[in-house]
């Protein structure tokens, strides 16, 4: 791994975000979040829709576009503060991959044309400008026959191939952090497994730091180092992924984990989170002023 171990690459201090025009606790979208992510780690943010996991990903990546306002704290990436202002998405420091990767490409262009345009954008067109310039990145994302992919039109590609190309562009830009917001939610189980195996491989070979938001934590302990459980804009609990999944402190986390679909479930048998577990989570998140994650994990 290229990154220095235990180097704090992402530091979030007392970070709060509210809905634009909001002036009370009900409008808070992120609640005084504090966490530290070391270089080369894989972090997963878990939680239901609207829990704040995706919003924090957007602010880390500098692509937040919602009607929100930073009301306190800061996000530091390699010691640089955003001061509530987004980083440029094409910055070589951070890349962002969303649940709909096709939105980042022109659907009418070929893969080759798209990669040439991106190379020019990041100042890496090179003297030759040929596909051979990209072979290393093609192989890094598991595309072993790039000559078969280059002429294809973006709109004709399957979702997993678009995710591979999104990862490839991040590597081309030499990004040190790749933020994936629900990047696996539209993939089938086989493709999801391929994606998480791929990011694990990229982390090991390149030392890239990954931050993923996921609505299902199925098999997260297999690839993630740390897991943060979000609830109503706050972090309910956090810790090493394998430990938190096997021995969560809160009933909400335990019941959330049980809602991940299993092959034995029918659509009418999916577990639901109990009111008691929700009340316990509300008391923890709303009753405490701050939660510091990633600093005292054993």
Distance CA 15, CA 77 (A): 14
Cα–chain-centroid distance for residue 4?
21
pLDDT of residue 21: 63
Residue 167 · residue 178 · CB < 8 Å: yes
Q: Is residue 117 part of a domain?
A: no
Residue-level pLDDT, tens digit, the chain, 298 residues = 554 456 899 999 999 999 876 555 567 789 999 999 999 999 999 999 999 999 999 999 988 877 888 889 999 988 876 544 544 334 558 999 998 988 899 999 999 999 999 988 887 665 444 545 788 999 999 999 999 999 999 999 999 999 999 999 999 999 999 999 999 999 998 999 999 999 999 999 999 999 999 998 888 999 999 999 999 999 999 999 999 999 999 999 999 998 876 544 455 556 788 999 999 999 999 885 444 555 444 4
Q: Dihedral of CA 57/59/61/65: which sign? A: positive
Structure tokens at 137: 């990145």
Output the pLDDT for position 88. Answer: 39
Burial of 212 (0-12, 13-18, 19+ CB in 10 A): buried
103-132 CB burial, b ≥16 within 10 A, e <16: ebbeeeebbbbbbbebbeeeeeeeeeeebe
- Supply the pLDDT for residue 262: 55
Number of domains in the chain: 1
Please report whether residue 112 resides in a domain: no
In a domain, 278, yes or no: yes
pLDDT at position 53 is 95
State which residues form the domain around 31. Answer: 1-93+210-298
In a domain, 19, yes or no: yes
pLDDT at 82: 55
* Residue 202 maps to a domain: no
What's the confidence (pLDDT) of residue 38?
Answer: 96
35: phi then psi, degrees, rounded to nearest 5: -155, 160
Is residue 263 in a domain? yes
Q: Indicate whether 104 belongs to any domain.
A: no
Instruction: Name the residue among 61, 35, 37, 57 with its Cα closest to residue 215.
Output: 57
Paired residues of 292 in beta bridges: 34
- For residue 75, list its beta bridge partners: 12
Residues 6+ apart with CB under 8 A from 197: 223
DSSP assignments along 97-143, one per residue: E-S-GGGGS-TTSBHHHHHHHHHHHTT---SS-SGGGGHHHHHHTT-
The pLDDT of residue 78 is 87
CATH number at residue 241: 3.40.50.300
The C-alpha atoms of residue 16 and residue 170 are separated, in whole angstroms, by 28
- In degrees, rounded to 5, the angle at the alpha carbon of residue 76 between the alpha carbons of residues 73 and 77 is 155
Instruction: Look at residue 249 in the predicted model and tell me its pLDDT.
Output: 95
Residue 88 covered by a domain:
yes
pTM, to two decimals: 0.87
């Amino acid at each position: 791994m290229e990154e220095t171990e235990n180097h704090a690459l992402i530091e979030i201090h007392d970070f709060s975000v509210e809905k634009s025009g909001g002036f009370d606790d009900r409008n808070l979208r992120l609640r005084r979040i504090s966490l530290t992510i070391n270089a080369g780690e894989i972090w997963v943010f878990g939680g239901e829709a609207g829990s704040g996991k995706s919003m924090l990903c957007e602010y880390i990546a500098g692509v937040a576009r919602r009607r929100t306002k930073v009301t306190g704290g800061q996000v530091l990436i390699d010691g640089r503060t955003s001061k509530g202002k987004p980083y440029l998405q094409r910055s070589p420091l951070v890349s962002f991959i969303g649940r709909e990767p096709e939105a980042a490409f022109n659907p009418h262009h070929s893969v080759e044309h798209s990669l040439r345009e991106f190379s020019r954008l990041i100042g890496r067109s090179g003297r030759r400008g040929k596909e051979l310039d990209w072979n290393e990145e093609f192989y890094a994302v598991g595309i072993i026959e790039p000559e078969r992919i280059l002429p294809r039109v973006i709109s004709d590609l399957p979702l997993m191939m678009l995710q591979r190309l999104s990862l490839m562009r991040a590597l081309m830009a030499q990004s040190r952090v790749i933020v994936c917001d629900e990047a696996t939610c539209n993939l089938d189980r086989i493709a999801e497994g391929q994606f998480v195996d791929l990011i694990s491989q990229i982390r090991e070979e390149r030392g890239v730091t990954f931050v993923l938001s996921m609505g299902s934590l199925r098999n997260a302990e297999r690839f993630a180092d740390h897991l943060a459980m979000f609830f109503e804009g706050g972090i309910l609990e956090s810790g090493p992924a394998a430990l938190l999944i096997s021995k969560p402190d809160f009933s909400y986390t335990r019941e959330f984990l049980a809602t991940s679909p299993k092959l034995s479930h029918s659509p009418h048998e999916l577990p639901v989170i109990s009111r008691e577990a929700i009340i316990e989570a509300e008391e923890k998140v709303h009753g405490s002023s701050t939660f510091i994650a990633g600093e005292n994990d054993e």
